Amino acid sequence: MLTEILRRLRHRRLSTVLAPVIVAAVVMPLGICAFLLIGDVAIDARTAYEALFQHDANIAAHVIVRDWRLPRAIADLLIGASLAVAGTIMQTMTRNPLASPGIMGLNSGANFATIAALILVPSLGRPGLLLVAIAGAASGAALVYGLGSLSRGGLTPVRLALTGVAVSTLLGSFSKGVMIYFELGEDLLLWESRGTLNIQWEDVMLYLPFFLAGLTGSLAIAPALNVLELGAQVAQGLGQQTWLVNLWGGLVVLLLAGGSVAAAGAIGFVGLMIPHVVRLVVGHDHRVVIPTAALAGGAFLLIADIGARIVTTPYRAAVPVGVVTSILGVPFFLYLALRRQKSNPGGRP
């Protein structure tokens, strides 16, 4: 077994092997350490160490580190990984480089459903909100696919992306309209775009089963995604049941993207950017792409949240991590759209 593994590693590019190892062994631990030290309250490394391994609930700095900053850092890793893996699967299933949970209606659908549930059933607990968010994500995606399929010429990758942007904007407007009509004020607006701000261990533990189920499911279909990437007709010719792969992949995406919206609100563009960067480094083998995307997505969101905290500290005003990801993601989206247009000049959308 060891000889076979070594033989396979020799035939892979060095970057394919080293990229996930570097992210897991270097970037993540350093990011978590920085996250525990940076914030409105200055905390030194020794105090952070004592908070983790010699915790005293009577010391305010210990409580800040263990009960506030650490769960937020873990949530960044889990949610960033979820969005990156969901985006990877969506781009492969739709053969659309612009596909991501934020663009294809999943985030906005989950967010709208969650807000509606908070209004209609105020007593609904966190587990119920998770299920509602997943159902809303499914509804948003179904609306995008349904409307995109009605257009003349069928459902093309660019048309799917444009429909997704339109539906996401529409559902986002509905969310704002509902909040204004019911006079919900600023609190719910902040809740909608909160990111991982104020997330606690209860939220992390509640989302963890959804994350583990989604990640396990994505790794299980990784070989099938390699075949599906060749095209539906080729995959069917090789004996693959493409409908089953798409169904399984859709369920995985709903668990990861819908659950992340319930846990931290809508965080855009992570699922769009990370899969492209990962494929440039490790290639297109989903058995490597999916775990690497999970590591890179988690590290990216953690670093983005550190950036948000650095901006927040001088002004004592909370900056959601979604603001940082959007600032980075919008130019990346435009770059992908323009590159695709140049590769298909004069072609149909």
Q: Burial letters for 186-210: b for 16+ Cβ neighbours within 10 Å, e otherwise?
A: eeeeebbbbbbbebeeebbebbeeb
Q: What does the DSSP assignment read for 228-250? A: HTT-HHHHHHTT--HHHHHHHHH
User: What are the residues whose beta carbons fall under 8 Å from the beta carbon of 299, sequence distance 6 or more?
Assistant: 23, 27, 28, 31, 77, 80
Q: How does residue 313 score in pLDDT terms, banded at 50, 70 and 90?
A: low
- Answer yes or no: are the C-beta atoms of 75 and 196 closer than 8 Å: yes
Helix pair 14-22, 270-282: axis angle to 10 deg: 140
- 3-class SS letters over 160-211: HHHHHHHHHHHHHHHHHHHHHHCCCHHHHHHHHCCCCCCCCHHHHHHHHHHH
pLDDT of 215 over the 80 cut: yes
Q: Minimal CA–CA distance to 82: which of 288, 337, 300?
A: 300
Q: How does residue 295 score in pLDDT terms, banded at 50, 70 and 90?
A: very high
User: What are the residues whose beta carbons fall under 8 Å from the beta carbon of 58, sequence distance 6 or more?
Assistant: none
pLDDT of 1 over the 50 cut: no
Q: Which of 2-6, 32-36, 75-79 shows the lowest mean pLDDT across its residues?
A: 2-6
Q: How does residue 101 score in pLDDT terms, banded at 50, 70 and 90?
A: confident
Segment 100-125 shows an average pLDDT of: 83
pLDDT of 42 over the 90 cut: no
User: What are the residues whose beta carbons fall under 8 Å from the beta carbon of 187, sequence distance 6 or more?
Assistant: none
pLDDT of 238 over the 60 cut: yes
Segment 279-289 shows an average pLDDT of: 88
Q: Which of 51-65, 183-197, 222-236, 335-349 has the highest mean pLDDT?
A: 51-65
Q: How does residue 5 score in pLDDT terms, banded at 50, 70 and 90?
A: very low
The pLDDT score that the predictor gives to residue 257 is 86
Mean pLDDT, rounded, of the chain: 82
Cα–Cα dist 268/272, whole Å: 8
**HSE (CB half, 13 Å, CA atoms) of 239?**
0
pLDDT, tens digit (0-9, with 9 covering 90-100), for 166-211? 888 898 888 888 887 877 655 566 666 677 888 889 889 989 999 9
The pLDDT score that the predictor gives to residue 154 is 62
Tokens of 113: 């459903």
Segment 307-316 shows an average pLDDT of: 72
Q: How does residue 316 score in pLDDT terms, banded at 50, 70 and 90?
A: low
- Other CB atoms within a 10 A radius of the CB of residue 111 amount to 26
- Answer yes or no: are the C-beta atoms of 206 and 130 closer than 8 Å: yes
Radius of gyration of the chain (CA): 21
User: What are the residues whose beta carbons fall under 8 Å from the beta carbon of 12, sequence distance 6 or more?
Assistant: none
Domains of the chain: 70-343 (1.10.3470.10)
Segment 25-29 shows an average pLDDT of: 82
The pLDDT score that the predictor gives to residue 2 is 41
Tokens of 183: 């006079």
Handedness of CA 322, 208, 199, 278 (dihedral sign): negative
The pLDDT score that the predictor gives to residue 326 is 86
Q: How does residue 76 score in pLDDT terms, banded at 50, 70 and 90?
A: very high
Q: How does residue 349 score in pLDDT terms, banded at 50, 70 and 90?
A: very low
Residue with tokens 């952070």: 48
Cα–Cα dist 144/243, whole Å: 18
Q: Which of 21-30, 85-94, 191-200, 308-317 has the highest mean pLDDT?
A: 85-94
The pLDDT score that the predictor gives to residue 314 is 59
- Answer yes or no: are the C-beta atoms of 81 and 275 closer than 8 Å: no
- Answer yes or no: are the C-beta atoms of 97 and 91 closer than 8 Å: yes
